[in-house]
Amino acid sequence: MDNGAAVMVRDLRKSYRDVAAVRGIDLEINRGEVFALLGPNGAGKTTTVEILEGFRRRDHGTVDVLGQDPARAGRAWRARIGIVLQLASTGPELTVLEIVRHFAAFYPASRRAEEAIALVGLTSKSGSRIGQLSGGQTRRLDVALGIVGQPELLFLDEPTTGFDPEARRQFWELIETLRGDGTTIVLTTHYLDEAEALADRIAVIAAGRIVAEGDPATLGGRASAAARVGWDPPTGGRRTVETGTPTATIADLAGEFGGEIPGLTVTRPTLEDVYLDLIAAAGGDEQS
C-alpha cells in the first residue's frame, strides 16, 4: 500500500459497544508535511490517531504508516515514530537531562539529549528536577522526549497546552526546524491559529467522519467565500455587506464618497469561522 506517503488510511472504522467513534475515514499524509487534524471532543480524532500510533485496534479498514500496518508493526517501526505524551510527570525526582538521556537510550539513532533539550528551550533547566518545573516547562519536556529519537513521523497531541505566548512561538519555530529536516508531523490542536500557522494541510473530523480537507487558505471553500465590506456612512451608523465582488463594491463606494471611504474594512471568513460552520453542519459540538 505504500506509495511514498507517510500515512495511508482507507475506510477506517472503530466502535465502542454501540457507539461508532470512527465511521469510514480515508486519509493520506505526505512525507515531510505538517498535517493538522481538527475536531471537537468526541469527534473521533483521538481514536484515529491512536490507531495510527498502534495503540488501538481498528474494527475495519486498511492502515499503512511508514510502510507498515501499525497493528502488526514491531520495535524497529516504533523507533521510527515519535509521540508527544504527558510522560514527564512520571519521574518527578529525575532531572531534565537524566530523563531525556534515559529516553534517548531507547532509540538506535537518537539525538544527543542536550540537543533535544535545547530545541525545546529548556537548556537552563537541564539540572532541575522534573517536579520543580512549571506546567509549560513540563510540556516542553514532553516534546523533548518525543523528538529525542529523531523520528521520521511525529505525533503531536495538543503540544502547546499550558505554553505562554513566547513559548508557543518558540515551539512553532521548532516545528519549522523539524519540517526542514524532513520530519512528517501529525498535529492535533484546539488552537486554530496554530493549525493555520503550521499546517500544510488540515482535515476536520466531526461525528467520526472527515467533513473537509485542504490547505488552510482554501479549507471549506474559504478562499471563494463572500467577503464582508464595512464602512462608516455620514449618518445611520456602520454598514456592512457580504459580496462575491468586493473590488467592484469598493469602487462603487469610492465613487459615492468621491475618494476615500471612511472606516473601510474588507474581511473574508477566518479559519475559525469555516471550522465552526463545518462542525455545525455535521451536527458536532465544540467542547474545548
Q: Please check the confidence at residue 12 and state whether its pLDDT lies above 90.
A: yes
Q: What is the mean pLDDT of the chain?
A: 90
Res 88: pLDDT:
60
Please give the pLDDT value at position 286.
Answer: 43
pLDDT-derived band at 276, boundaries 50, 70, 90: very high
pLDDT for residue 2 is more than 50: no
Going by pLDDT thresholds of 50, 70 and 90, the confidence category of residue 45 is very high
Examine the pLDDT at 287 and tell me if it is beyond 50.
no
| DSSP character string of 161-194 | TT--HHHHHHHHHHHHHHHHTT-EEEEE-S-HHH
Whether the pLDDT of residue 68 is over 70: the answer is yes
Question: Which spans in 58-164 are helix H?
Answer: 75-78, 96-104, 113-119, 135-147
**pLDDT higher than threshold 90 for residue 3:** no
The answer to whether 142 and 87 have CB atoms below 8 angstroms apart is yes
How many angstroms separate the CA atoms of 181 and 9, rounded?
25
User: What cell was used for 81?
Assistant: 515514530
Average pLDDT over residues 159-165: 81
* pLDDT tens-place string over residues 112-156: 999 999 988 899 999 999 999 988 888 889 889 999 999 999 999
pLDDT given at position 288: 34
Pairwise CA distance, residues 144 & 96, whole Å? 10
Mean pLDDT of 195-220: 94
> Does the structure show a pLDDT above 80 at 162?
no
CA distance 266 to 6: 39
The percent of residues above 90 in pLDDT, for the chain, comes to 70
β-bridge partners, 7: 29, 65
Integer CA distances (angstroms), 109 to 76, 98, 99, 182, in order: 11, 18, 17, 16
pLDDT value of position 190? 87
Q: How confident is the model at residue 86 (pLDDT cuts 50, 70, 90)?
A: low
Which of residues 221 and 263 earns the better pLDDT score? 263
Given a cut of 50, is residue 1 above it in pLDDT? no
C-alpha dihedral sign at 37, 43, 46, 52: negative
Give the pLDDT band of residue 284 (cuts 50, 70, 90). low
Share of the chain above pLDDT 70, in %: 95
